[in-house]
Amino acid sequence: MSLFHRTLASLGLGGARVETVLETEVLIPGQALPVRIEVKGGKVAQAVDNVHVYLCCSFEDEQAVSRGDSERRMEKVTRTHTLAQWQLPQAFTLGAGEERQFDCQFELPLNTPITIGYSGVWLETHLDVPSALDPKDKDALTVRPDPMLDGVFTALEHAGLRILQVECEAVRGFELPFVQVFEFVPVSGPFHGRWRELELITQRDDDCLRLWFSIDRRQRGVGGLLSGLLGSSELKRQLSVPLNLSPSEAGERVLRYLEQVDDL
């Protein structure tokens, strides 16, 4: 019976289990991510070499595909990127039915995507169990803007701009293989009737918040509005906002910039 149980455990049946409990419901990039990792033994004792934690997100990319003829077409694909990874370098043996708990605290990277629209962020926890399928747990995260970016969004909203769509899109030349694109439409205020759409990319550095803008004034489809910029080696129309400003001051600076720019 013991051999039978060990065989099942090696296949991931009746073996150890892991569950990650989030200590907070809402997370902000750059702040602490407190978690509690609970490990529960199965029907037999098992060695655990390590506990790995991965912070992951998804983004949209394009790849060439063949449909059986000579023509190759570009199709959208969803890719996964690991934003950060941590480990608990603590090997231990987990007895049958034994429970262990680890309280951990990790730092959420500054450019973790905000989880609105189609942007997903999650935490994966894996047990490194030799000669067996690694038990794992997956937990979706709720990530909100940091105070400065929230100040920018608040100012745009007060100026009559509403978020239409948010996506993480593949790009080159940035720290990450993607950028998060925020699409706004003017429904009232000073930009209503002047713009069709505003697209915004943000990136946090240690000393400032960087923003790139694209404005569509033409009555045409919005698809690919930012594709020319994303495909170039340098994104123009950049505004750097120092971190010593308050959130409201950051929002006011962005609005002044948008009002002064005549031809984005």
Residues 110-169 have pLDDT tens digits of 999 999 877 889 999 998 887 555 568 899 999 999 999 999 999 999 999 999 999 999
First to last CA, the chain: 72
pLDDT over 70 (residue 9): no
Please say whether the beta carbons of 16 and 42 come within 8 A.
Answer: yes
Break the chain into its structural domains and give their ranges: 2-140, 147-260
Q: Tell me if 137 sits within 8 A of 19, measured CB to CB.
A: yes
Spatial separation of the C-alpha atoms in residues 151 and 186, rounded to whole Å:
18
Greater pLDDT, 119 or 85: 85
Rounded Cα–Cα distance for residues 10 and 132 (Å): 4
Separation of alpha carbons 9 and 48, rounded Å: 13
Q: Are 124 and 56 in contact (CB under 8 A)?
A: yes
Evaluate if pTM is beyond 0.85: no
Convert the pLDDT of each residue in 31-61 to its tens digit. 999 999 999 987 778 888 888 999 999 999 9
Amino acid at 43: K
Residue pair 254/155 in contact (Cβ under 8 Å)? The answer is: yes
- Choose which CATH entry (2.40.160.10, 3.40.47.10, 2.40.110.10, 2.60.40.10) describes domain 2-140: 2.60.40.10
pLDDT at 70: 63
Mean predicted lDDT score pLDDT of the chain? 83
pLDDT at 68: 63
Amino acid (1-letter code) at residue 157: E
Q: Which residues are within 8 A (CB) of 195 and not within 5 positions of it... i.e. 6 or more apart?
A: 186, 215, 216, 217
Name the residue among 92, 105, 97, 6 with its Cα closest to residue 48: 92
Of 179, 159, 170, 144, the residue nearest 63 (C-alpha): 170
